[in-house]
Amino acid sequence: MGNRSFARGGLMESVSSFSPALAVLASLIGAIMVLIFGRLPNIREGFSVGAGIVKFGIVASMIPVVMDGKLVELKLWELLPGLPVMFRVDAFGLLFGLVASFLWIFTTLYSIGYMRALKEHAQTRYFFCFAIAISSAIGVAFSANLFTLFIFYEILTISTYPLVVHIETPEAMRAGRKYLLYLLTAGVFFLFSIVAVYHYTGTTDFAPGGILEGKGIPENMLKLLFITFMIGSAKAAFMPLHSWLPTAMIAPTPVSALLHAVAVVKVGVFTATRIILYVFGVDLMNETGLALAMAYFAAFTIIVASIFALTHDNLKKRLAYSTISQLSYIILGAALLTPAGITGGMLHILNHAFTKITLFFCAGAIIVASGKEKISEMNGIGKQMPLTMLAFTLGALGMAGIPATAGFISKLYLLIGTVEALQIPLLLVLLASTLLNVAYFFPVIINAFFKRPEKEQSFKEAPLFMLVPLILTGLISILLGILPDAPLAIVRIAVANLMGGT
């Protein structure tokens, strides 16, 4: 009996490099500079943007190595005996790292516009926490083992709390408590799972074939572990552990955009996917029947969250429920355990990120320009803010998965995945969800473009700092639908490594 990871993808060659650590450090140093230059807003924001560009550059510099079929590895030191802090960049981690660091640049620019337009207080704290949060997201993406991942996972929870409660009203403080209650509790369950995995297997390293198989762990224990792991990934906001996400929408919109469409929730699904595919492994998930249970669980979330989204008039809340629904696409894809399903799930991390961040950027632009948060009040704003609403339309189309948008590609793979797994009910769920997507996004577009406002409106487009990022992300989300080859190539390496062959 050989090691499974050898049998599957063959022995992966690894390159030792400081790049993963530098990528994490870039924004940490950025955070410190933000703190130091807190009184000089222009220099402070300069460091934020600069750190973002440097960070993305470092992450991108690892593309050739990974595309070459190698891993980038860096073992730092053993924090606890036998438990090293270690980075290992594989295709899946790189994909997520690229998305998060790339979108950080846009979000920083957008944040500058948003925070200055609204003359928000405590901007230093805001940019400081933001930089730490993105560092931890990248740390999660590049973690080589559960232990390292957990460290960044917890830092992310703590560092995003001040962002959630930014406006500091009693309502925001209550929302913050709820946020912590959910995520710290999740952390506790996660910690338990890690301790148990380490106890049973003596390792927490991710491996493409999983690490739990053949270790003589009783099946009930495995099931319990899976449940505690999934509770631990509550950042992925699947039902019934979702309700922190809509509550956290009280945060400033750029926070909602990056953290609650990209960083925090994506860290959640990324973690869940890592656990499903790299800790439990395809075979074990199949044998125990956990995969099927998880898939239907995700399907339930997809439908119910979409229905919830319909009932909300507040645009950000509606987007939040849409996020909950879309995140479960990714988990569904991983839980299908077929090549197409996993491809679809991993691609959706990228595609959902670009489409959803566009939608959030638009929601924020509307707030800044007009102060409107409710969909029913947005009649006719397409006339005042044509570019914003155009970008919104692009995002909504992508979300619904209309052909030639980013969402279409991932949804197509997911659909093929359900067929491969012979799960026709899940196929129907995906199709139904598409209809629901149309049902909750199109009223916004119709209101904006085709309905007359009740009274004359005089506001204009949001400031350029906000407008440019949202147009760019909107365009990219279409571009990803027309030219999906580059991300697909990365995902294919990850899937090939998981499944062996091809």
Partner 1 sequence: MIEHFPVLIIAIGLFGASFTPIVGLIRKELCSPWASFITLLQLIISIFLLYRVIAAGNMSYWLGGWEPPWGIEYAVDILNAFVLVIVAGVCFSVSIYGRKSLALEVPGKELPLYTLYILLTTGMLGIAVTGDIFNLYVFLEIGSLAAYALIAIGDRHSLMASFNYMIMGTISASFILLGIGYLYVMTGTLNMADLSALLPSLYGRPVILVALALLVVGLSIKTALFPLHTWLPDAYTHAPSAISAMLSGTFTKVGIYALIRVMFTVISPAYVIETVPVMSILSWVAAAGIIAGSVLAIAQYDIKRMLAYSSLSQIGYIVLGISMANKLAMTGGILHILSHSLMKVGLFMVAGAIIYRTGIRNIYQLRGMGKKMPLTMAAFVIGALSMIGIPPTIGFASKFYLAWGALYAGEWVFVAVILLSSLLTAVYFWRIFENVYFGVHEGIKKEEAPLSMLLPVLAFAFLVLLFGMFASIPIGIIEQWVTGVLPGED
Q: Give dist(CA 97, CA 346) in Å, integer.
A: 12
Is 79 or 489 the residue whose CB approaches partner 1 more closely? 79
3-state secondary structure at position 168 = coil
Residue with token string 């490099």: 17
Is 185 or 243 the residue whose CB approaches partner 1 more closely? 185
Q: Report, in Å, the least distance between residue 83 CB and partner 1.
A: 8
Q: How far apart are the first and last CA of the chain?
A: 23
List C-alpha distances in Å: 417 to 286, 355, 421: 15, 22, 6
H or E stretch covering 266: helix 264-274
Is 181 or 483 the residue whose CB approaches partner 1 more closely? 181
Is 120 or 154 the residue whose CB approaches partner 1 more closely? 154
Q: Report, in Å, the least distance between residue 115 CB and partner 1.
A: 17
Q: Report, in Å, the least distance between residue 345 CB and partner 1.
A: 28
The first and second tokens of residue 338, run together, are 């077929």
**Contacting residues toward partner 1, per CB under 8 A:** 77-81, 150-151, 154-155, 158, 162, 165, 168, 173, 176-177, 180-181, 184-185, 187-188, 191-192, 195-196, 198-199
Whether the Cβ atoms of residue 422 and residue 501 lie closer than 8 Å to each other: no
Is 64 or 81 the residue whose CB approaches partner 1 more closely? 81
Q: Report, in Å, the least distance between residue 253 CB and partner 1.
A: 19
CB atoms within 10 A of CB 234: 24
Q: Report, in Å, the least distance between residue 190 CB and partner 1.
A: 10
94-110 burial string, b = 16+ CB within 10 Å, else e? bbbbbbbbbbbbbbbbb
Q: Give dist(CA 58, CA 53) in Å, integer.
A: 9
Is 221 or 486 the residue whose CB approaches partner 1 more closely? 221
Q: Report, in Å, the least distance between residue 24 CB and partner 1.
A: 13
Is 139 or 209 the residue whose CB approaches partner 1 more closely? 139
Q: Give dist(CA 454, CA 258) in Å, integer.
A: 33
Backbone angles phi, psi at 483, to 5 degrees: -120, 75
Backbone angles phi, psi at 77, to 5 degrees: -160, 165
The first and second tokens of residue 495, run together, are 């899937």
Q: Interior CA angle at 56 toward 278 and 121, to 5°?
A: 105
Q: Report, in Å, the least distance between residue 145 CB and partner 1.
A: 13
Q: Report, in Å, the least distance between residue 125 CB and partner 1.
A: 8
Is 79 or 486 the residue whose CB approaches partner 1 more closely? 79
